[in-house]
Amino acid sequence: MSEANLVDALREQAHPVVSLVAEAAGEVVGHIMLSPVSLGGHPELRVMGLAPMAVAPAHQRKGIGSALVRAGLEQCRQLGFGAVVVLGHPSYYPRFGFLPAARFGIGSEFEAPEEAFMLVELQPGYLADVTGTVQFHAAFKDL
Ligand SMILES: CC(C)(COP(=O)(O)OP(=O)(O)OC[C@H]1O[C@@H](n2cnc3c(N)ncnc32)[C@H](O)[C@@H]1OP(=O)(O)O)[C@@H](O)C(=O)NCCC(=O)NCCS
């Protein structure tokens, strides 16, 4: 499944979804999506997963991705979510407060280098004393 199909599937099946676009001169040049994930053994916790996200190559390195991440995290906070996870570039996400999830004792169902699976708490201490494995929406398994 392509990322475009993943976006369609999440829009139809996940709830709530945070989906933002960046525009330049009337053209969509960036997109970010966040949808709920589950943390095994802790159905009461409200955690979002950041994916997918992309900025058009000609518009990269202008701060558009950063603006999308910051706005996306803020919307999750306003929706009452306590943390956000991401499987992504370990040199990109720490600037937004993401830390390796392993430090919290939290892993991903997907195999990935340990430092690539990161999380940020939107409410300080939200994941203190919590461990487990994050499961993404079923649509991610078709990627
Ligand atoms: C990653 C991405 C979303 C960043 O968007 P952007 O608008 O270029 O980001 P910003 O302008 O806000 O930030 C630029 C910074 O991100 C860094 N960056 C960009 N792509 C990166 C990558 N693949 N790995 C690590 N850092 C990256 C740049 O080095 C730059 O760092 P600096 O500020 O220290 O110079 C964009 O490069 C992209 O769409 N890449 C292809 C798709 C992708 O990788 N999506 C993310 C999946 S996790």
Report how far residue 47's alpha carbon sits from residue 41's, in angstroms, rounded to the nearest whole number. 13
Asked if residue 6 lies in contact with residue 138, where contact means CB atoms within 8 angstroms, the answer is no
Domain that holds residue 36: 3-142
> Atom 41 of ligand 1 has which residue's CA nearest to it?
54
In this structure, the residue with its CA closest to atom 42 of ligand 1 is: 54
pLDDT of residue 108: 96
Residue pLDDT, tens place only, 92-131 = 999 999 999 999 999 999 999 999 999 999 999 999 989 9
Q: Which ligand 1 atom lies nearest to the CA of residue 67?
A: 12
Identify the pLDDT of residue 41: 87
Write down the pTM of the prediction. Answer: 0.94
We report the CATH number of the domain holding residue 99 as 3.40.630.30
Tally of domains within the chain: 1
